[in-house]
Amino acid sequence: MGQPIGLASLEVKILKQMQEQDTVILGIETSCDETSAAVLVGGRELRSHIISSQVATHQKYGGVVPEVASREHILHIGEVVEQALAEAEVSFKDLTAVAVTYGPGLVGSLLVGVAFAKALAYAAGIPLIAVNHLEGHVYANFLEHEDLEFPLLALLASGGHTNLLLFQDHLDYRVLGRTRDDAAGEAFDKVARALGLGYPGGPYIQKAAATGNPKAFEFPRAMLEAGSLDFSFSGLKSAVLNTLNTAKMKGQELNTNDLAASFQEAVIDVLVKKALLALEHYPVKTFALAGGVAANTLLRESLARELSLRRIRFVYPSPVFCTDNGAMIAMAGHYRFLAGNYASWKLNAVPGLSL
Ligand code: KG4
Ligand code: ZN
């Protein structure tokens, strides 16, 4: 008598489930100015999450100094990984795989994480998983929302990138739109600098904007050609800088909070309008926000309002998972591991990696 039909596929399914539940992934992130490591069990349970931030070091320069960032990563990577393993109560022998950001980012910073992850995975005899930092940002949403349904649209807005993405399934996505010049977060940082606020600019602009009038200044909203899902923020940034320079030449004092509020509203207006345009083209049921700018309250509230009117599920990560972190890399690494997508020992940092 032959085997009952479907038994083999049932076994495969059970095996897959066991594999999914058993994974112990160490995620390492060093692409910019945060040294971070996290241990994720079964793609669900975040056992530990350590972030050593260099923000205070770079603040006095008004931005990240690449050479300083690499040195800081070298100083901290060992203790950050050790602490992540200790808090998760696992040794490196318990790990299933090591996932690491290999791009995009600062080459010296990326190399520290990549070299460390390679050595650890090699010594433990386990797979090395290469994670695209931008993909990681979107996967931050899976840390807190287990039952996200595909297809989903994602808006990724960070310091270096602004993208609209359509995900058909795990790891199966395409770019619908991207910025043609400055990223949204970059605009926040440059305008904050011009206003004499701190670094990184986003949280400072948000704070100043809270008591400012968003209608005080009329700044441009670049929508580009009809139907385009691309972004452009350099014109808006220049408009703020021109307003400041003109006032300076005339000896006028401008209200910083009003400037911050008017600028912030212009950025958020464009992000929200483009998100809604993408939804018209691709009517999905789930919309995910990601990247450092996703921590912005006005952006979250504006999207929440618009998406609830359209009965679309709206998710975004907690602020700690919006900015750079190892947990999101572990989560993306978990899915890459399940897909058998292992990196070679020749893995190198790719600073200009795209999606
Ligand atoms: O994702 P991220 O930590 O690093 C990159 O991959 O670039 O994003 C950092 C960016 C910075 O430009 C920062 O100003 C911005 O995210 N950001 C914010 C807020 N918090 C961080 N932008 C607007 N509002 C915020 N609350
Ligand atoms: Zn990032």
pLDDT band at 17 (very low <50, low <70, confident <90, very high): low
- pLDDT tens digit sequence for 159-212: 999 999 999 999 999 999 999 999 999 999 999 999 999 999 999 999 999 999
Please indicate, yes or no, whether the overall pTM of this predicted structure exceeds 0.85.
yes
What average pLDDT does the segment 18-28 reach?
87
Q: Note whether 11-140+323-338 and 149-316 share their fold.
A: yes
C-alpha dist (Å) from residue 136 to 28, 110, 296, 300, 333: 11, 14, 19, 20, 8
Is 282 buried (19+), middle (13-18) or exposed (0-12) by CB count in 10 A? middle
Angle at 104 between CA 324 and CA 21, to 5 degrees: 60
Question: What is the domain partition of the chain in residue ranges?
Answer: 11-140+323-338, 149-316
Q: Residue of the nearest CA to atom 14 in ligand 1?
A: 202
User: Percentage of the chain with pLDDT > 70?
Assistant: 95
- pLDDT tens digit sequence for 147-160: 899 999 999 999 99
Distance 328 CA to ligand 2 centre (A): 10
Residues 6+ apart with CB under 8 A from 309: none
pLDDT band at 232 (very low <50, low <70, confident <90, very high): very high
For residue 12, pLDDT over 80 is answered with: no
Given this structure, which CATH class describes domain 11-140+323-338?
alpha beta
Query: Which residues have C-beta atoms less than 6 Å from ligand 1?
Result: 32, 137, 158-160, 185, 188-189, 200-203, 206, 291-293, 295-296, 323-324
Pairing relationship of beta strands 24-29 and 45-53 according to DSSP bridges: unpaired
Assign domain 149-316 to its CATH superfamily. Answer: ATPase, nucleotide binding domain (3.30.420.40)
Distance 181 CA to ligand 1 centre (A): 16
